[in-house]
Amino acid sequence: MTPTDIRDDAQLSAAAWGRRLAPYRSPRTLRGILEVVTTAVPFVMAWGLMYLGLRFELYWLYALLLLPAAGLLVRLFMIQHDCGHGAFLARRRHNDWLGRVISVLTLTPYDHWKRSHAIHHASSGNLDRRGIGDIDTLTVAEYRALSPWARLRYRAYRHPAVMFGIGPAYLFLFLNRLPLGFMRQGRQPWISTMATNLAAAVAAGLMIWAIGLVPFLLVHLPIVVLAAAVGVWLFYVQHQFEETHWSEANDWNVHDAALHGSSHYDLPLVLRWFTANIGVHHVHHLSSRIPFYRLPEVLRDHPELKQVGRLTLWQSLQCVRLALWDEQARRLISFRDFHDHHATA
């Protein structure tokens, strides 16, 4: 089957895609436990060794372990992500409680995030349902209609220093402390957010009591900030690539949006492990109940999916410049492209 055939398959009914991917949707509890252990234990060890590196002035050890520790925190977030889809362990109750425990480390309220992420899956690529669980993306027409001040704000938002630096830190450390987008939708978002805040405060307080405020901040804060930047980068690349898919609600199709609006971020093996195969994002959007540890099985059994939306690590760096959806060309373009071809239209 060729990539063209796959594009035709995107028009299949939900039932047809469900039958095709159903065999991969069964979580394996023992495998899930193993994934948790092989992620959480190295994270705790790396955290402890970083602290010892600071205490005994072994700064090379601290520096050596910072990136792996952040990668392990990213992997813990991906486990929480799968729990939110009910895809990691066999029982929903076990998924939910594991996700809540991990959320104390990731500073991402589990139940609130689970709800907003479900909206992302239900509306990804739909121009009429932007705003929750995605990266703000304007069309060429919308950007052209903005005032100079509004254009400046949007350009600042899309600047790499904000998108992958200031923004992720602000999101995970501050914005996640309130149920933004759901503040008037009952108690549940507030309970989820405030319970996570309280649990994180208690855990941080105990660590500060044990080792001191400055050592705690010097170890944990860089890990969280770096992991947040990596997490936002992954989410960005999964949907913000040139040949992604956007359409108005009346033309929107969940399978077309999943297959063509989500990338296959084909990372080296080590990075695939740290990111828990989240790069196989087109398959994840086709069937979010597939555990991350089974996504490679899908590509193995359906190799034609490997080339759909494929981005290499090098190619993904070119996505940073993309900022606007060109309705006519049906692709993402840069601000420079806009000024070259659309500014005076």
* 304 assigned to some structural domain: yes
Radius of gyration of the chain (CA): 21
* 313 assigned to some structural domain: yes
DSSP E strand boundaries for the chain? 138-139, 264-265, 310-311, 322-326, 331-334
pLDDT at 244: 92
Give residues with Cβ within 8 angstroms of 104, minimum separation 6.
196, 199, 200, 203
Q: What is the dihedral of CA 257, 260, 266, 271, to 10 degrees?
A: -20
Tell me what the mean pLDDT of segment 200-220 comes to. Answer: 97
SS (H, E, C) 124-155: CCEHHHCCCCCCCCEEHHHHHCCCHHHHHHHH
Terminal alpha carbon distance of the chain: 41
Closest listed residue to residue 106, CA positions, set 62, 171, 32: 171
Tell me what the mean pLDDT of segment 17-31 comes to. Answer: 87
* 48 assigned to some structural domain: yes
Separation CA 138–CA 135 (nearest Å): 10
Tell me what the mean pLDDT of segment 48-76 comes to. Answer: 98
- On the question of pLDDT at 45 being above 90, the answer is yes
Tell me what the mean pLDDT of segment 138-165 comes to. Answer: 96
Tell me what the mean pLDDT of segment 215-234 comes to. Answer: 97
Percent of the chain with pLDDT over 90: 79
Cα 211–chain centre separation: 32
* 192 assigned to some structural domain: no
pLDDT at 1: 42
Looking at every residue in the chain, the average pLDDT score rounds to: 91
pLDDT at 242: 93
* 16 assigned to some structural domain: yes
pLDDT at 7: 46
Residue 76 burial (10 A CB sphere; 0-12, 13-18, 19+): buried
pLDDT at 113: 94
pLDDT in tens, 261-307: 899 999 999 999 999 999 999 999 999 999 999 999 999 998 888 88
Q: How many structural domains compose the chain?
A: 1
- Highest mean pLDDT among 10-19, 158-167, 179-188 belongs to 158-167
* 195 assigned to some structural domain: no
* 29 assigned to some structural domain: yes
- On the question of pLDDT at 12 being above 60, the answer is no
pLDDT in tens, 247-273: 898 888 887 788 788 999 999 999 999
* 205 assigned to some structural domain: no
pLDDT at 3: 44
pLDDT band at 344 (very low <50, low <70, confident <90, very high): low
- Count of other CB atoms within 10 angstroms of residue 41: 11
Q: What angle do CA 34, 282, 105 make, to 5 degrees?
A: 40
**Higher-pLDDT residue of 130, 145:** 145
Percent of the chain with pLDDT over 70: 94
**Higher-pLDDT residue of 186, 209:** 209
Separation CA 96–CA 332 (nearest Å): 36
Max distance between CA atoms of the chain, in angstroms, equals 63
- On the question of pLDDT at 194 being above 60, the answer is yes
Separation CA 290–CA 20 (nearest Å): 12
pLDDT at 11: 46
Structural domain containing residue 332: 3-177+214-341
